[in-house]
Structure formats: C-alpha cells, structure tokens
Amino acid sequence: MTIREAQEEIMDEFSMFEDWMQRYEYIIELGKSLPIIDAKYQVEENLIKGCQSQVWLHAENINGNVVFTANSDAILTKGIIAILIRVFSNQKPVDIVEADLSFIDEIGLKEHLSPTRANGLVSMIKQIRMYALAFQAQ
C-alpha cells in the first residue's frame, strides 16, 4: 500500500464518524492496536522531543523500506503515532520525505488537538522524516 492509499483509507475511516468524540475514541482504539516497540528501544535516545507525553519511536531499514515501531505513555498520543506509523511504516525513505501530509488537515486532526498535542504531532512527523532522511543518505 502506498502512502497516499493509506492516507485515503484513514480519511475514509474518519469520515464515517459524526463528531469528534467518536473520532477520539477511534484514535484511542488505533493506539491499542499499535505494534509495541521492543523494550530495548524504549530508551531516552528514542524519545521524541517536543511531545507533552512520552513517545518512543524506533526505525529500521528493512530491505530498503523504513519500518517504525513506537509506544507512548498516553492513550491519545499512542493513537496519533499509530496513525502516522500506519501511513509511513514499510515505505521507501524518499517517499516518506516527499509525502504530502494534507490528510492531517483533511481529517481535522491538528485543529482538534490541544496546542501541546499539536506540537507533539509536528515533532512526531519531524522525527519520522529525520529517520527517513538518515536512511536515504546511507
């Protein structure tokens, strides 16, 4: 599945809900299905700076694709990183770096987060792209 296809699938899923309380519940459910990061990667150096909650993000280059795992100590934040991992994991570094992220605005995610969580979302995206850039440079 391409990045765009994953984004469209998420936009379709979000459009099924009538209000933001239902969307928040869905984001929390997505977080519960997040493949948990191996405990050995849940360390200080994998913490995303700029997040209100603790979010650990690990990336590996497997056969030319970036594979992400993550965890968070907050249920909503865990759901947000789950959405991002669903879009960006198992993708080529160049595709991650060049991806259009307008789907975030289209589902209304950023505008329905507190300012600190919205900053955390930006930090998560930045870290995902930094990993992709590092793998692209290899």
Q: What is the CATH number of domain 3-137?
A: 3.90.1010.10
How far is C-alpha 128 from the geometric centre of its chain's CA atoms?
8
Tell me which of 111 and 79 has the higher pLDDT. Answer: 79
Catalytic residues: 51
For 83-130, write each residue's pLDDT tens digit.
999 999 999 999 999 999 999 999 999 889 988 889 999 999 999 999
The amino acid present at 16, given as its one-letter code, is M
Domain boundaries, the chain: 3-137
Give me the helix-helix angle, 75-88 and 115-137, nearest 10°. Answer: 30
pLDDT recorded at residue 51 = 81
- Count of helices and strands (H, E) across the chain: 6, 2
pLDDT of 13 above 90: yes
pLDDT recorded at residue 50 = 85
Give the mean model confidence (pLDDT) for residues 48-62.
93
